Amino acid sequence: MANAKHTGHTHRVAVTGLGVLCALGNNPEAVFTRMLNTDTGIRALTRFPSDNLQCSIAGELEREQLAALMSDEATASMDSCARYAIAAARQALGDSGLVIQSFNRNDDGLESGYQSMTSDRIGLALGTCNGGILSLEKQWDLTALDDANTANYPFYQQGDDAAHALGLNGPVITINTACAASGNAIGYASDMIRWGMADAMLAGGSDPLSHSVFAGFNVLRALNPLPSSPFGSRYGLNLGEGAAFVVLERLDKALQRGARIYGELCSYGLSNDAYHETAPHPEGAGIQRAVEMALNRAGVPRERIQYINAHGTGTMANDQAELSGLRKVFGDTITVPISSSKAYFGHNLGAAAAVELVTSLYAIKQGFVPGTLHYDGPRDGCGNVNIIGEEMPRLNPQYMLSNNAAFGGHNVSLVLRTDSCGTEPHCQSSSKQSARVVITGIGAVGDWGIGQGGVLHLIGGSSSAEDSDAGGKAPFSLKEYDKSKYERRMNKIAQYTIGAALAAIENAGLTESALADIGFIYGTSRGSTESISRFLGSVFEKGPEYASSIYFPHTVINSIAGKTAEKLQLRGFNSSLSTGGNEGITAALYAAGMIREGSLSVCLIGAGDERSELSDRIDQAKGLHASRYAMTEGSACMALASLDQALSSGAKIYAELLGFGTAFGAAQHTTDGDVLLCAAIAEALIQAEIGMHDINLVLLNSVGRAGETEWEIEVISHMGSQPVPPIICLNEASGYGESFSSMLHLAAAAELVHHGAACGILRQQPLLEGMRIRNVLTVSSSVNGSYSAAVVGERRE
Amino acid sequence: MSTSQRLELDEIKSIVKQSLLIDRLELEDISAEEITDDMILFGDGLGLDSVEAFEVMVGMEELFGVMVEDIPAEELKLHLKNVQSIAELILLKHTKGMD
């Protein structure tokens, strides 16, 4: 594979395929035609009754188009979120002309050629606000959930199902940053290509219209009973539904195969408002930081931006705050044409960024940019801005921005070059030396309490507990630990995560003033299932008009990262993701990439889980009751820094993160599964520039179902190293948390490398006696057969 | 204001404090006795925020059958100022409803 690590060379990223499904149609051309006709897809609601709600219109898919989608038998067992995503992703792939060839059929020569790409070099990033919530709504009773539907609920299930349906084996992720999710997913996907982890990615978002989410927006009085007019006279938003995907591809490969190029994805920025769980920062400070980061990372001066596709929901809180943030970047009077596409097809939540980007790129290819339907002059706070009205103007912008903002305070801004087919280089320097990444702080909260500086002494894998900070078996209470960071009704997972973050920050010696600029990447596969149950319970039991406003903001699972960012004032690059098992390593991979390329110097990473009745039902549905490990809850965080930053600040260095690898779709006890698990490990070793013989210990985060762990150990043991290094799974001692455990294993690896020996911190390992531990390989598996690997080693001189 | 109305007002206030505020919003750090009739509810005082305001509004409908959806936002803010003003609004709506 192309190793992007040492030269710092980064690949450029082209958009070569588009797919969309929304209220205006089920392909980019149809949607464009109706946009050009100033048509809206907002119509009378038919999907569910709107009695006693303040709004009875929405942007639903047209009945025939939905029926066609639902007649696909191959995807019939999946949640609608995945089904919408698959339909849009297939369109995008077809549009790109790329043919995916299974990675293990290289030798039959049938599909070789410029248009083909092997499945291990192409992955998928899906953004979703509500995951498979329709699978719970179908049942409308949380006390009697069945297995088949409940198994389709988790957020990561949507990305995994889509990747599986398309036959992909590259990096797969579900980004859960609510209404910014698909923008973040597209950004993450571009990083995978830039950093050499994939040659192409399908990236987008999906959210079908949900009755309970509609009820949640209704109770917050955010819905407009009339068709919305972003920036104009009518306050409030209309909900939509749909999915959209882009094919992102290495620009050089796209040019080589003569692909149609819609634009070049130059870069993107993320931020967090760190202000409130639903309301945007009133001056748009968060969106301002996301835009500034996107422009800086892309090396594109703001003067080159010739079109901005705004978030523009139409609510009182959003529109003026967003323009206020843009004024800080573009000046008090904004001359760049701006429009919001939301009056065409509604607010598509997690799919919004992708639907808006796909329809903008298609329109630009035809020589137009989207207008702002129903715009009738600026409302208060929206003046002195060049807002495009109802008609789509002819425009060929050199560069465009696409912005989105979310509950939980997450913001995203994408920068695209949209002229000259991306063949001319944009301003980004691509030859700088890449930074080395070290671990400088560890903090964790579990059923043993809170601790820092390591995890082994906490989880009981230790032979001595003399340096333990553990506070006993009582569940961790943030209120008792640090009341200033606690608030009423704070759910358990937010308390654990804030506690673990505080411990990691203290351990890394980071000052409060430094926190505003560091990154924060968090992984959780389920968020607060207790809060989600409380909200859904209010809707299912009392009725949609009695939806609980205080629990609604926690149905989006980026609310955990958002609350942590708010309490700790983490305002920089912020993301929240789900993989169903590999959250810890995936967050580390993402943060390390950002540090290597110089976009961040310090990044906090975290992962967490919460137990609840709903969580237990999901465990059963996902077959986790068959795991040999007890299910547990908690959170672990680590501080990562560039080596230069760590040295200059005098931080303790636990270990260096040397390499990462990932592969999706590894079925146990199959030849393909063997190859994929080995491929994830080999990729990490190659990046680290070491061999299996240099590995002293393997820490394996196994889900632990029957035969699974044995198979994983068997495959790893045969990776060509004699003697085989010890392979240890800590879940026997710590219990298993879908997201938490991979971070615990990574933290344990750092602790062991720092300690240099197993003696004293790892119990009963005769093979490790007297051995100096220099390199630890951490391998993690997901519930659905995704594997991630990370090499944690001594800092090299 | 008649004696019966005053009694009713006191009763409403006590339901507002316990059921509408403490139970519904799960206020773990304050008791009904500590919430005075004139304590500011939003921002200062009790420290509730905009999301909790909507919960209070839904609760008024669920507990008292009082709909506030048609009241303009600025006017509603005055009604939701403290326990006294909420109870008066509920009483007024009930009285009107009986007419």
Of A88, A83, A23, whose CA–CA distance to A240 is shortest? A23
- CA A607, CA A456: separation in Å to the nearest integer? 17
- Confidence check: pLDDT of A770 > 50: yes
Residue A347 catalytic? yes
Cross-chain residue pair A277–B51, CB shorter than 8 Å: yes
Per-residue pLDDT, averaged over A401-426, amounts to 87
**What is the homologous superfamily of the domain B3-96 according to CATH?**
ACP-like (1.10.1200.10)
Per-residue pLDDT, averaged over A395-412, amounts to 98
Q: Is the ipTM of this complex over 0.85?
A: yes
pLDDT digits (tens, 9 = 90+) for A652-666: 999 999 999 999 999
Chain B, window 2-61: residues with a beta carbon less than 8 angstroms from a chain A beta carbon: 25-29, 49-52, 54-55, 58, 61
CA angle A467, A468, A473 (to 5 degrees): 165
Which helix (H) or strand (E) element contains residue A308?
strand A305-309
pLDDT digits (tens, 9 = 90+) for A234-249: 999 999 999 999 999 9
How would residue A431 be classed by pLDDT, with cut points 50, 70 and 90?
Answer: low
Q: What is the mean pLDDT of chain A?
A: 94
The domains of chain B are located at 3-96
A491 touches chain B (CB under 8 A): no
- CA B53, CA A405: separation in Å to the nearest integer? 23
- Confidence check: pLDDT of A462 > 70: no
Q: What is the pLDDT of residue A426?
A: 57
Q: What is the pLDDT of residue B2?
A: 67
Cross-chain residue pair B54–A489, CB shorter than 8 Å: no
User: Can you tell me which residue has the tokens 């051309």?
Assistant: A29
> A130 vs A151, A218, A398, A555, A664, CA distance in Å?
15, 16, 34, 7, 23
Percent of chain A scoring above 70 in pLDDT: 94
Q: What is the pLDDT of residue B95?
A: 85
pLDDT digits (tens, 9 = 90+) for A511-531: 999 999 999 999 999 999 999
Q: What is the pLDDT of residue A474?
A: 60
Residue A421 catalytic? no
Q: How many CB pairs under 8 A join A and B?
A: 40
Of A270, A274, A277, A282, whose CA–CA distance to A328 is shortest? A282
Which residue among A11, A347, A554, A754 is the active-site one? A347
> A327 vs A318, A337, B48, CA distance in Å?
14, 13, 31
The model's pTM is 0.96
A542 touches chain B (CB under 8 A): yes
Q: What is the pLDDT of residue B3?
A: 66
Of residues A796 and A255, more confidence is placed in A255
Nearest to B55 among A54, A278, A549 (CB): A549
Q: What is the mean pLDDT of chain B?
A: 91
pLDDT digits (tens, 9 = 90+) for A709-746: 999 999 999 997 678 899 999 999 999 999 999 999 99
- Confidence check: pLDDT of A473 > 60: no
- Confidence check: pLDDT of A253 > 60: yes
Q: Look up residue A23 and give its two tokens.
A: 């209220």
Nearest to B51 among A54, A546, A549 (CB): A549
Q: Which residue in B has a C-alpha nearest to residue A54's C-alpha?
A: B69
- Confidence check: pLDDT of A377 > 60: yes
Q: What is the pLDDT of residue A460?
A: 75
A530 touches chain B (CB under 8 A): no
Instruction: Decide: A170 and A663 in contact? Cβ < 8 Å.
Output: yes
Of residues A107 and A509, more confidence is placed in A509
Per-residue pLDDT, averaged over A197-207, amounts to 98
Per-residue pLDDT, averaged over B70-87, amounts to 93
A208 touches chain B (CB under 8 A): no
pLDDT digits (tens, 9 = 90+) for A780-792: 999 999 999 999 9
Q: What is the pLDDT of residue A464?
A: 42
Cross-chain residue pair B25–A547, CB shorter than 8 Å: no
Q: What is the pLDDT of residue A110?
A: 53
Minimal Cα–Cα distance from B95 to chain A, Å?
23
Residue A427 catalytic? no
Q: For residue B25, how far is the Cα from the chain centroid?
A: 12
How would residue A762 be classed by pLDDT, with cut points 50, 70 and 90?
Answer: confident
How would residue A9 be classed by pLDDT, with cut points 50, 70 and 90?
Answer: low
Contacts of A369 (CB under 8 A, 6+ apart): A307, A309, A337, A339, A360, A363, A388, A392, A393, A395, A397, A400
Q: What is the pLDDT of residue A608?
A: 98
Task: Provide, as residue numbers in chain A, all residues whose Cβ is less than 8 Å from the Cβ of B29.
Answer: 488
pLDDT digits (tens, 9 = 90+) for A41-78: 999 999 999 999 999 999 999 999 999 999 999 999 99
